[in-house]
Amino acid sequence: MYKKTLSLRFPKKMVDEPIAVNLVKKFDLSFNILKATIYPRKEGFMVLELSGHKKNFQRGVRYLKTIGIKVESIGQDIKRNEELCFHCGACTAVCATGALHIKRPEMTVEFDKERCSACEWCVAACPARAMEVRFNRTLLD
């Protein structure tokens, strides 16, 4: 099984098309939408985790490009600045994956980088600005 996190930028003409359904039906791929901003008659943006057999993955990415979608691979460099964090727990309330959670009975905030989907909700929620999320984007050929 091959898996990558991708960002997709849709031109206006493509936002009403069933792109994800086509990836499943035509290329036997699975996806998990991590973040999306798509409005009618405007450009769209989506971050998704795409997985399947490598050959199908490559065919699916080619399909996306041929219909005018800009596809970038996203590597994530996510960390918590321990000096800034005062373990208030605000980030745990918005973390959908459980990557940020409170360790009991110590009542400290723990961060499991492997579970993080890089949705960036913790960055906005953190009053201390201790969460730092950096994306390393590369265009897929």
Q: What pLDDT score does 42 carry?
A: 83
Q: What pLDDT score does 80 carry?
A: 87
Tell which wins on pLDDT, 127 or 80: 127
User: Exposed (0-12), middle (13-18) or buried (19+): which is 98, by Cβ within 10 Å?
Assistant: exposed
Express each pLDDT in 24-59 by its tens digit: 999 999 999 988 888 877 888 888 889 999 999 999
Please name each of the domains of the chain with its CATH number. 2-68 (3.30.70.260), 79-132 (3.30.70.20)
Contact 45, 8 (CB under 8 A): yes
* Dihedral over alpha carbons 87, 134, 16, 63 (to 10 degrees): -130
Instruction: Point out which residues pair with 72 in neighbouring strands.
Output: 7, 139
Express each pLDDT in 102-140 by its tens digit: 999 999 999 987 777 777 788 889 999 998 866 655 555
| pTM higher than 0.85 | no
* Average pLDDT for 8-12: 86
